[in-house]
Structure 1
Amino acid sequence: MRKGKESFTVFEHDCLRIGRGKQKLTNEQLEALQLFYGENGVPFYSLIHHGVRFNEYVGVIQVGKTVIEVLPKADKANPNDESVKTTWRNVLISMLYAVGIFDIHAPSNSNLRLRSNSILDLYFDLFIKEIEYLLHRGLVKKYRKTSGNRSALKGSIQFGKHISQNLVHQERFYVRHTIYDTQHDIHAILYKALKLLSFINTNVQLSSRLGTLLLDFPELYDIKISEYLFDKIALDRKTEPYRKALEIAKLILLNYHPDVKKGTSNVLALMFDMNLLWERFVYVSLRKHKLANTSIASQNTRNFWKPQSGYRSKMKPDIVLNKGTDKCLVLDTKWKNLNGYNPSPEDLRQMFVYMKYYGAKKVALVYPGVENINQSGQYYDHSSQDSMHLSNEECSVISIKVEKDVKAWQKKIYENISQWFYHF
């Protein structure tokens, strides 16, 4: 199915090494990952002896023609079982869909066919769908200024250039005028992303569609890619349908790192912090099912500490329910399996501070798990001389079973948290 491609599928916190394990890196692959890591490092993995250890980031890293897929995992199932890999790949894709990362204009069932390969294929497929959608509806034209020699006087004549270039050819005019066409920066970005995909794509299913799009899409000028380029693009009513295609193009182009020395170990890293993804997934699940009289805020910031000079320190809990009321509750999400252990003292101390500063009735840490567990614990009374005296201040631990059906999972998240929420 793939042309000249080698793939690895691992889970977060797994290792890949040279000469060890069922999946072995080559010297060239490790060297490319080491070069990409550089002196400052990358958050996706750390370097170990003759290999790499992946962190809590999940997604896909493509090094040359080698694709490394990193999946999340919150259970003890056999990581070498292909069905386990398929399950967690679908869980990750479902979470990305739920938080809106894979929200596209032209949905179809073809993405299900690509799930057996990698998330990278799915991203490429989504971008191709978006470009097909834009071509079908007609590319947006914009006005642009252009200068040059013309056989007819159109626009304003540029006398300096006209005199220097047309002393012999008096039938020509060097003018500056306005053209209304498809040659603008938005299309230049999409065209550059299309060319990049055609270069790095290793999926035969997508190759013919990419070739067709490159024939149908107008050939554009080369454009220098930067964060600033994307920041300065302002979409209007006519160009709003381009938003999703530009988001995917931005993700691909800004995360592509060409190997300028050899040209054989280019790196594309489309990786997601699993802690942030879990936080967003819990938030959208609660928002989807919440009652009308319940408020919910994500990443609500409050000042925490101010030095005599310099910047203030802030606190930012993941989710605040009913902020400013006597039924205020604070949630902090953690993507880890406690496996029956207590939360870390640091997490418990952090929740205690949230309780005090937000005036919360209760606080809770929310984890994924293999079963649904809602367990509360009490803080010791810090105002009492008796070090063994418990207070009425609680911090709960909510473990929510991972479900294969994302809609059922989202509902279960709401039910578990709301059961804790209303149990005063």
Structure 2
Amino acid sequence: MSKPKSIQVFEYSTLICGQEYNGHHFKKAHFNALVKLNEIHKGNYFTIGVNKITFKNYVGVLQVDGLVIEILPKIDQYESDSESSKIKWQAALIEMLRVTKRLKIKEKDEASVATQSKHLLDIYFEWFLAEVQKLIHQGLIKQYYKETSQVKALKGKLEFAGHIAKNVVHKERFYATHQVYDKDHLLHQVLFCALEIIASLTKGSYLYSTCKKVQLDFPEVKTIKVSAKTFEQIPHDRKTAPYETALAIARIIILNFAPNVKTGSENMLALLFDMNVLWEQYILVRLQRAQEKKGFTIIGQNSKPFWQNIAIRPDIVLSKGENENYIIDTKWKNIDQSKPSTQDLRQMYVYNEYWNSKKAMLLYPTNAISSEINEKDFVAFQETPNVKDHHQCSLGKISIFKEGRLDEEIGNTILKWFETSKNE
């Protein structure tokens, strides 16, 4: 099998048309496809220059015209772009996606990803194919659905207008709507659509033969056009429960497949994640896993009405007992050489007011050693007349790595900061 053409870059880096990266050329066709993809997504993914693409805060992977581009996160723009740095950050991205349940991969398999030159699309495709194989092994379900067609014996409801139009000559036939009970139903049609996409994108790779094997074991079904609305029509009950994971991955694959972004005979698939959102969700999960030992209750995206139909919501609210609330707002950026923005500090002030919180924290990642937070690090906002207790804000920098891997104890470290500040 041929090795896939792939380029690894970091967020906020630039690809220039005609230049070579990782031994592969970034061609005009690739550039044009990315420009169209960016237009579809209202300019959120990239900054477009003259024959160049600069990535923003979206990380993940996209494939276009046989080229895989993997966009990795990075805290410090001055950090080396070496191969070891790319391996470290690819592992970090995969682990963040795994912890936040956007990706299923066994921890023991994570180490093999870099050595086998796998990228995120491979991992998602493997996950989906494994889920479909599991369903086939368990036995694919049959469902009732309505079908309107020509039948030789009348069953169901006769469609008079269609019957008269179609059977002037063949009076022995009936054009009727009747119930059918078989495996050619919406669930399998959606899964088959995802299998077709994987087959079209993995030609020449080790996954292609696996996909074709799964397709051979899969029942013949109608080819349908799948959209977001299609997924809303899928029934959710006891019989379809085993399909939930496969359908969730199929949704990711199908809805991120862009058949209208053409370059030659190829289509594009883009799985991109807002790094600010991923960082927030990762911290939330790590805090929730640590909360029981520390006696905290952790809630994410807890909103309150602010003005008319506008609501405000901090990223994370920590509660201890009935009256102790703390606020954390996560920021995926390096602040080692700068200060928080005035806008961010205003937000923290408002959050403290609305959640009756005495302390708030702006939380940033760092490649350096984590902050040592104590009472003096929580600084009061400017005093307000006739107010005795002024709430405070701190800036926390958390080191996300420990011995080259994501630190699993990051949640405990953050919660200790609030315990320390309370006890001093």
TM over 0.5: yes
Contact 1:378 1:392 in 2 (8 A): no
- Please state if 1:235 is matched with 2:233: no
Deviation at 1:167, TM superposition (A): 6.7
Pair 1:100 & 2:101 matched: yes
Q: Is the 8 A contact 1:259 1:265 kept in 2?
A: no
Deviation of 1:414 after TM superposition, in Å, equals 2.4
1:360 alignment partner, one of 357, 361, 370: 357
Q: Which segment drifts farther, 222-231 or 174-183?
A: 174-183
Q: Please, what TM-score do these two structures have when normalized by structure 2?
A: 0.87
Distance (whole Å) between structure 2 residues aligned to residue 265 and residue 343 of structure 1:
44
1:134-170, CA deviations, whole angstroms, 9 ceiling, x for partnerless residues? Answer: 1111111111122434444544555665666567666
Q: Counterpart of 1:336?
A: 333
Asked if 1:418 is matched to 2:416, the reply is: yes
Correspondence for 1:219: 220
Q: Which moved more, 1:322-331 or 1:46-55?
A: 322-331
8 Å CA contact 1:147, 1:177 repeated in 2: yes
Counterparts of 1:234-383 in structure 2, within 5 Å, are 234-259=235-260, 263-291=264-292, 293-306=295-308, 312-322=309-319, 325-370=322-367, 371-375=369-373, 376-383=377-384
Write the mapping of 1:50-199 to structure 2, written as runs, cut at 5 A.
50-75=51-76, 78-103=79-104, 113-115=112-114, 116-156=117-157, 172-199=173-200
Q: CA deviation at 1:406?
A: 10
- Deviation, structure 1 residue 72: 0.6
Letter in 2 for 1:217: F
| Aligned 8 A contact 2:257 2:269 in 1 | yes
| Cα distance in 1, alignment partners of residues 200 and 233 from structure 2 | 27
CA contact (8 A) 2:92 2:406 kept: no
By how many angstroms is 1:41 displaced?
3.5
| SS, match of residue 414 in structure 1 | helix
CA RMSD in angstroms, aligned pairs only? 3.0
Please report how far the alpha carbon of residue 381 of structure 1 lies from its aligned counterpart in structure 2 after TM superposition. 2.5
1:102: Cα distance to partner? 1.8
Could you say which residue in structure 2 is the equivalent of 1:2? 2
How far off is 1:250 after superposition?
1.1
Identity of aligned residues (%): 36
Cα deviation for residue 70 of structure 1 reads 0.3
Aligned-pair distance for 1:301? 0.7
CA 1:261–1:407 in structure 2 vs 1: closer, same or farther (change >3 Å)?
closer
Is 2:17 aligned against 1:13? no
Q: Which runs of 5+ in 1 are unaligned?
A: 307-311
- 8 A contact 1:275–1:335 mirrored in 2: yes
Deviation track 1:58-111 (CA, whole Å, cap 9, x = no partner) reads 00121221111000112467433111111111111111110111248xx69667
Aligned residue identity for 1:121: D
Paired AA for residue 383 in structure 1: T
The answer to whether the Cα contact below 8 Å between 1:130 and 1:245 also exists between their aligned partners in 2 is: yes
Amino acid aligned to 1:304: F
Rate the CA distance shift 1:8–1:103 in 2: closer, same or farther, 3 A. Answer: closer
Question: Residue 151 of structure 1 contacts residue 171 of structure 1 at CA under 8 Å; is this kept in 2?
Answer: yes
Tell me: CA distance 1:161–1:414, structure 2 relative to 1, closer, same or farther (3 Å).
same
Q: TM-score, normalised by structure 1?
A: 0.87
Ranges in structure 2 where 5+ consecutive residues have no aligned partner: none
Distance change in 2, residues 1:39/1:243 (3 Å): closer
Distance (whole Å) between structure 2 residues aligned to residue 48 and residue 260 of structure 1:
19
